[in-house]
Structure 1
Amino acid sequence: MTTRWMKPLAGCLVVLFLMAVTLGCKEAEPLPEDTMRAFVEAWRQAQYGSMYDLISADMKQQYTADTFTARYKSIYDGIGMSGLSIQWQPVEPAQDAKSAQGAKTSSGKKTQDQDAGTALYQFHVDMSTFAGPIAYDQTARLVKEKKTDGKTSSWKVRWDSGYIHPKLTDKDKVRVEETPPLRGEIVDRQGLGLAINEVKLEIGIVPKQLPAQPDDAIQKLADLLKMNAKDIQAKLKATWVKPEYFVPVTIISADDQRLEPIVSVPGADYRKKKVRSYPLEEAAAHLVGYIGKISAEELAKYKDKGYQTDDWIGKSGLELAFESTLRGKPGGRIFITDADGKEKATLVRREPANGENVQLTIDAELQLDMYRQLEKDTGAGVALHPLTGEVLAMVSVPAYNPNLFISGVSSEQWKQWSDNPAKPLLNRFARAYTPGSAFKPLTAAIALQNHTLDPDAERSIVGKQWKKDTSWGNYYVTRVSESQSAVNLATALMYSDNIYFAQTALELGAQKFVEEASKFGFGEKWNLPVALDTSTLSNNGKMKNEVQLADSGYGQGEVLMTPLHVAATYTVFANGGTMIKPKLLLNNDEKAVPWKSGLISPEVAKTVTDKMVEVIDNPAGTGHDAQVKGLRLAGKTGTAELKTKKDEAGQENGWFVAFDTEQPRLLTAIVVEQVQDRRGSHYISPKIKSLFSSYAAKKQ
């Protein structure tokens, strides 16, 4: 009996074992969520080709891989998409049943039960765009398809354009409309414009309105605009130009008298446009700077900040330094149009946020006056309020007209700037110069403060040349005049005696000289929105020998200072020994900020100031030509020699630093290059006189 049941039982066990083996070798049934997961992950990673591989066969007949990929990429690039987030989940059974009764996906097909080869998933999309966030909900339909072997199947996505946005159909287009913000203006302390937004006339050409032979018309327009005809022709050949388009050529002022003859040229036209304008033109060019069309390199660097291909951006000066403040935030909208261009829906809209104005401590009238005094020279000038540190003027000459960067710099103009040996594009007030004798009051102040100098003691100095001893070899210090043989501090400053200050520095000693002079801001970075060179006492911070120390005592050697730093050091004399920090942004509630407190005593400050008054008031003083009736000015002239050898001729730069002492409101520092054949620093005296005379008259 046992044997009779065992055989059938054993046979059954074998059959069950073989069935298990067969089932174990069979591929696992594909799941729709695996396809949905892969599709969403590829979407998040912008792998549009991988997404296309997962769409259904019937959809692939409607969309090629290139069309599919291009639609996603062009739309997302155009709207500035970032931060894409996609959440998804299966449709609940109750929802599925309800959907099966008539709900449709974006493809227009009724949902079906998953057992019938259909699966539904809800997904939620969030993204950021240039115009603001976009979010939407959509339903994805997945269908089960047989593979090419006809035996196995896989799940695919029945995709259409509604996945990009529910309001988008296959024939619709996504459009972008950007509204640029109004750029903030840069104004002076009185609110006068230094960089403003002004309505001007944009001159252009409509190609289809040109004569059949356009060369004569283009040449006539070029002559009127003082441009090269080839530059105009190049604009007309741009790839975006169409016959009916207005092709911008240049910008002119709204009251330009050339407008009538310009528009009489066949094909020429104009339109009003609000553009950047620089009222002071060359006078404030290096300070204010200019804006220009964003370059490819800048676009790559700042694209994450919302910049677009045709945007304008600060290129130099304060326009560059305050770019984030002045620019504002662009507005715009993203909308859908149908195949005929008719607008269907706005997806997101953001109003532009205009840029903020920047108000400077600059006095536009003084800025212009200083430029006019220097416009025929090569050099720089700065002006401070000696008690507050407010920067009143910063001028560099020669200069350029920044408005040309708005209207368009011609090739001839660029060549003229580039070939000019005086380098008008170079910002000289940012450059460190050898200060020469303008440094001598600092040497005097340091020595007085350290009690190594008696201001009334007379030194016997005979002849024009002096050296300490034979260890100096053939090197010697030369003074300008040998008229004085008994020299004290007053006569040393008045006659600008190099030997006196060389000896003063040697008496201080190298260590004390470097230690005390460094306290005046040498080697320190400027906390200002304009880039300035760092002033230095020497190339390595030390004096390599006594010769260098002696030369440094009268501002030669390796001493380098920017005009602003020279001016700032003189504030110690107007503030009882405290050096005031220069500032460029106006804040009427902010008090003067000490940069270096108590560098010298009030007594030392007064002593040096009184001696500098003699430089201008005394007829024998080197700065006497700058004397202004009714003003008690203190100052110091200086001539810095740039030579490779002691006895050879070389370039000389002239300095003049001055401030009013009784009611301190103005401190100026001017450096002019190449004064060797123009009476040296005496060349600058009339300029100083004119500046203080005008400023004093204005303030009365």
Structure 2
Amino acid sequence: MKRYLGVAAGAGLLLLVTGCQPQPTPEDRLNEYIGHWNGQDFQVMYEEYLTQESREEFPAESFVERQQQLVEDLSIENFEVSFTAAPDDAEWDEEQPAEFPIQVKMDSVAGPIEFDHSISLVHEEQEDAEMWFVDWDPSLIFKELEEGDEVAVRTEPAERGEILDREGRGLAINGTGYELGVVPQRLEDEADREEAAELLGLTVESLEESLGQSWVQADQFVPLSKASKSDEELIAEIEASDVTTYRETAMREYPYGEAFGHLTGYIGSITAEQLEELQSEGYGPNDLIGRQGLERRLEERLHGDNGVRILIQKQAEGTENVVLAAQEPVTGEDVELTIDAELQTAVYDSMQGEPGTAAAVSPENGETLALISSPGFDPNEFIAGMSGERYAELSEDPLNPLFTRFAARYAPGSTIKPVTAAIGMEAGTLDPVEGLTIEGQTWQKDSSWGSYRVSRLHPEAPNPIDLNRALVYSDNIYFARQALDMGADTFIDGLTGYGFGEELPFAIGVESSQISNDGSLGSEGQLADTSFGQGQMLANILHLASIYEPFLNGGTIYEPTMYADEEKGVVWKEGLITDDNAAILRDSMRNVITDGYADSANIDALPIAGKTGTAELKGALGEEGQENGFFVSYHAERQDLILAMMIESIEDNGGSDYVAGFSASAMEQYYQNN
């Protein structure tokens, strides 16, 4: 019995103690509520702090899920709610609501949002407990938000920056193209639908599916595909048809087409993977993004910042939408290149669609004036929407127009001989006026070479063979002997001085030129082969143009530049050749044209100097194979640009003179206007 009394007495004491505890004031409850609000604990806010009436009027999904979704959709960050405290002597009437001013701040995808409001707490009993609870409605999310209203995010795409050449000529511009489509009421029968589908590059099934969409009206234009301005034949067919039509629309344009396809690249629709990665940077599902070339490499500069508006879409009749926050679009940056569009076009056209590559640089400061891969592709085709059939055609073309050759490297052949000569002259092992007696078509140092012999193309060259004659006749034996005289270490050091084995400091990634696979020359035979650009030597076409700079500017190779805002004339390599030795090479390279075998470059229109080269690519079993032809040249008097060109498979086209003719044609066309 005493035990039960003790328990009862303990319970009574507990009730007495509990009853003596002060009840939370409305200010206490609001402080707790705002703590959860700032922490975005919407579930706790709903279950423990809202009035019974508020929970009945607004189900959990209207409160919890909606606010969670808004935080995500609007990219809400730095959310902060505060309130103005009541006076210290405030008294609370449980029969009246307690009102508090609140201040709400947040950052959103469209910029900061701030508003002042008031919040009411009501004293009521819930689950056998009397407490102050929040009287909630949607205006506590945003002040102007009422039941039934929607919060929407509207994106205004930024205008993409343009890519321009050195004279401001547009290479990738915001131009126009065409939307192709039909007016449904004109399609009277199956034959009409078949004709329309064929002209638009669609199947009849996909055409009918598109026309079956709920928004389609019989008398209104329905866009179904696109075409660029350059596709004049298709536009003429669309215009001539009674069942199809078109209208002009904004579209990215590439005015120079194939000549710049590999360089500018093109834009396309953003992929799901890219959107996931870039959504935080303001990209949306309908954005276009650089897919290849400079469009891709310069994406951050070209894209700009999309404009964003957050709206309350009012449902009540006669009320206007409310803008909560707005960020105006910022146009992307225009990027000017060092490229000369006239020169690039002249060089590309001169190559006549042959597979190859070309680069032109300024010896005065290293600016890249042209960078070409041939054959090219028309980026306008990708913008308009290339069919799978057309892409397969390009992919399977044996000339490989989708391969960017200017990024690759090739055996440079005899175009390396002026460099070999420069290294030997600077090392003191090559005397340019000393002639060598060379007999026959092949030569080897001694029997230790086994079956290996150096061959030359012109055994009729008269002895003695000095440097000038060796360059005019492109005598492999002469340069092999000079390389042996200087030795592998001296030759490797010299080539390293010209940038072989190093990454070319250039805005676009290109393969590095190499002396050999491992950077060494393991045998005298390999040393001999390398002296005339064979063996394992490989050179990138832009680097090949750049290594001729020292012969025209006093011994310097500049870092090649691509963008007009890059610092020009940054020295990459210097002190490579004296003025006297450079003059000797310049005289000989002019004689290569006037006295040698680059007859196609010996034109009346302008004096060209340079060096041809042929690189033979051995087959898997060492048999004779494809020959690539090279020509590195410049205007002998103006000396304001160096053009390096390579054409593949010239074995049946007269050798490297075939390439010299292309180069001369490009230079003639360019210099007529400059």
- Bin for the TM-score computed over the shorter chain: 0.7 to 0.9
CA positional deviation for 1:327? 2.1
Task: Name the structure 1 match of 2:304.
Answer: 328
Aligned to 1:455: 432
Residues 259 and 371 of structure 1: CA distance in aligned 2, closer, same or farther (over 3 Å)? closer
Q: Given the alignment of the two structures, is residue 84 of structure 1 paired with residue 78 of structure 2, yes or no?
A: yes
Q: Does 1:137 align with 2:132?
A: no
Number of the residue aligned with 1:664: 639
Query: 1:430–1:531: 8 Å Cα contact kept in structure 2?
Result: yes
The alignment status of 1:629 with 2:607, answered yes or no, reads no
Change (3 A) 1:454 1:76: same
**C-alpha distance 257-501 of structure 1, shift in aligned 2 (>3 A):** closer
TM-score by length of 1: 0.85
Q: Tell me the alpha carbon deviations over residues 435-493 of structure 1, each in whole angstroms, 9 at most, x when there is no partner.
A: 12111111111111111111122223333333334443433332223223642212222
2:655 aligned partner: 680
In structure 2, the CA distance between the partners of 1:442 and 1:413, relative to structure 1 (3 Å rule), is same
Tell me the CA shift for residue 567 of structure 1.
0.3
Which of 268, 278, 298 does residue 292 from structure 1 map onto?
268
Q: Which consecutive residues of structure 2, in runs of 5 or more, have no partner in the other structure?
A: 1-5
Structure-2 separation of matches of 1:37 and 1:390: 65
Alpha carbons of 1:43 and 1:640: their partners in 2 closer, same or farther (altered >3 Å)? Answer: farther
> 1:386 touches 1:571 (CA, 8 Å); kept in 2?
yes
Per the alignment, in what secondary structure is the counterpart of residue 564 of structure 2? coil
Structure 2 CA distance for aligned equivalents of residues 537 and 644 of structure 1: 21
**1:374 aligned to 2:351?**
yes
**Alpha-carbon contact 1:501-1:554 (below 8 Å) kept:** yes
Q: Distance in 1 between matches of 2:246 and 2:302?
A: 28
Q: How many residues align?
A: 662
Matched residue SS, 1:506: helix
Tell me the alpha carbon deviations over residues 340-398 of structure 1, each in whole angstroms, 9 at most, x when there is no partner: 68633222233322222222222222211111112421111112233232222111111
What is the aligned counterpart of 1:65 among 43, 60, 84? 60
Q: How does 1:219-298 map to 2 (within 5 A)?
A: 219-225=194-200, 227-229=201-203, 233=207, 236=210, 242-244=215-217, 246-253=222-229, 262=238, 268=244, 270-298=246-274
Matches within 5 A, 1:536-547: 536-547=514-525
> In structure 2, do the counterparts of structure 1 residues 263 and 72 end up closer, same or farther at CA, with 3 Å as the change threshold?
farther
Pairwise CA distance, 1:403: 0.7
Check the 8 A contact 2:263/2:371 in 1, yes or no.
yes
**CA distance in 2 between partners of 1:562 and 1:424 (Å):** 18
CA distance in 2, matches of 1:15, 1:416: 94
1:429 is paired with a residue whose SS is helix
Matched with 2:330 is 353
- The alignment status of 1:392 with 2:369, answered yes or no, reads yes
| 1:89-488 equivalences in 2 (<5 Å) | 89=83, 91-93=85-87, 113=92, 115=94, 122-142=101-121, 150-152=127-129, 157-205=134-182, 209=185, 211=187, 216-225=191-200, 227-229=201-203, 233=207, 236=210, 242-244=215-217, 246-253=222-229, 262=238, 268=244, 270-339=246-315, 343-484=320-461, 486-488=464-466
Counterpart in the other structure of 1:105: none
Contact 1:55/1:159, CA 8 A, preserved across alignment: no
Determine which of 535, 560, 570 is the counterpart of 1:557.
535
Change (3 A) 1:14 1:299: closer
Deviates more, 1:49-58 or 1:23-32: 23-32
CA contact (8 A) 2:546 2:558 kept: yes
AA aligned to 2:78 is L
* 1:101 counterpart residue number: none
Q: Flag the 1:515–1:70 CA change in 2: closer, same or farther, 3 A.
A: same
Q: Helix, strand or coil for the counterpart of 2:322? A: strand
Q: Choose 335-344 or 168-177, whichever is displaced more.
A: 335-344
Residues 180 and 352 of structure 1 are in contact (CA less than 8 Å); yes or no, is this contact kept in structure 2? yes
Shift of 1:118: 6.1
**1:532 corresponds to 2:510:** yes
Query: Could you tell me how far 1:284 is from its partner in structure 2?
Result: 0.7
Residues 1:464 and 1:249: Cα distance change in structure 2 (over 3 Å)? same
Letter of the aligned partner of 1:243 in structure 2?
V
Q: CA deviation at 1:35?
A: 6.7
Aligned with 1:608: secondary structure?
Answer: helix
Asked whether the equivalents of residues 637 and 656 of structure 1 are also in contact (C-alpha less than 8 Å), the reply is: yes
Aligned-partner Cα distance in 1 for 2:390–2:509: 26
Q: What are the Cα deviations for residues 237-272 of structure 1, in whole angstroms up to 9, with x where unaligned?
A: 89x873248444113439958668747867755443
Which residue number in structure 1 is paired with residue 3 of structure 2? none
Distance in 1 between residues matched to 2:179 and 2:525, nearest whole Å: 62
| Compared CA separation, residues 455 and 644, structure 1 to 2 (3 A) | same
Q: Secondary structure at the match of 1:680?
A: coil
Cα RMSD, aligned residues only:
3.5
Question: Which residue identity is paired with 1:651?
Answer: Q
SS of match in other structure, 1:417: helix
Instruction: Tell me how far apart the structure 1 counterparts of residues 574 and 236 of structure 2 sit (CA, whole Å).
Output: 63
Equivalent residue of 1:352, what SS?
coil
User: Gapped runs of 5+ residues in structure 1?
Assistant: 1-12, 98-112
Is the contact made by 2:605 and 2:668 (CA closer than 8 Å) also made in structure 1? Answer: no
SS at 1:286 equivalent: helix
Partners in 1 of 2:431 and 2:601 — Cα distance? 28
Alignment partner of 1:654: what SS?
strand
In structure 2, relative to structure 1, the CA distance for the partners of 1:40 and 1:373 (3 Å cut) is: farther
Q: Give the match's secondary structure for 2:389.
A: helix
Query: For residues 95 and 565 of structure 1, do their structure 2 counterparts lie closer, same or farther at Cα, with a shift above 3 Å needed?
Result: farther
Partner of 2:485: 507
Structure 2 residue aligned with 1:496: 474
Q: Give the deviation of 1:652 after TM superposition.
A: 1.6
Q: 1:338: how far off?
A: 1.8
- The alpha-carbon deviation at position 597 of structure 1 amounts to 2.1
The answer on whether the counterparts of 1:638 and 1:681 sit within 8 Å (CA) in structure 2 is yes
CA contact (8 A) 2:83 2:103 kept: no
- Give 1:103's aligned residue: none
CA contact (8 A) 1:235 1:249 kept: no
Which range moved further: 417-426 or 441-450?
417-426
- Partner AA of 1:382 in structure 2: A
CA distance in 1, matches of 2:234, 2:618: 51
Q: Which moved more, 1:496-505 or 1:338-347?
A: 338-347
CA distance in structure 2 between the partners assigned to 1:199 and 1:577 by the alignment: 48
Alignment partner, residue 519 of structure 1: 497
Structure 1 position 578 matched with structure 2 position 578: no
CA change 1:45–1:412 in 2 (3 A) is farther
* % identical aligned pairs: 36
Assess if the C-alpha contact under 8 Å between 1:241 and 1:247 holds in 2: no
Which deviates further from its counterpart, 477-486 or 419-428? 477-486
Larger mean CA deviation between 41-50 and 216-225 belongs to 41-50
What is the rounded CA distance, in whole Å, between the counterparts of 1:698 and 1:596 in structure 2?
A: 33
Matched position secondary structure for 1:127: strand
> Which whole-Å CA distance do the structure 2 matches of 1:664 and 1:445 have between them?
19
CA deviation vs aligned residue, 1:547-579 (integer Å, no higher than 9, x gap): 332222111222222111100110111102112
Runs of 4+ with deviation above 6 angstroms: 13-18, 24-30, 32-35, 94-97, 263-267
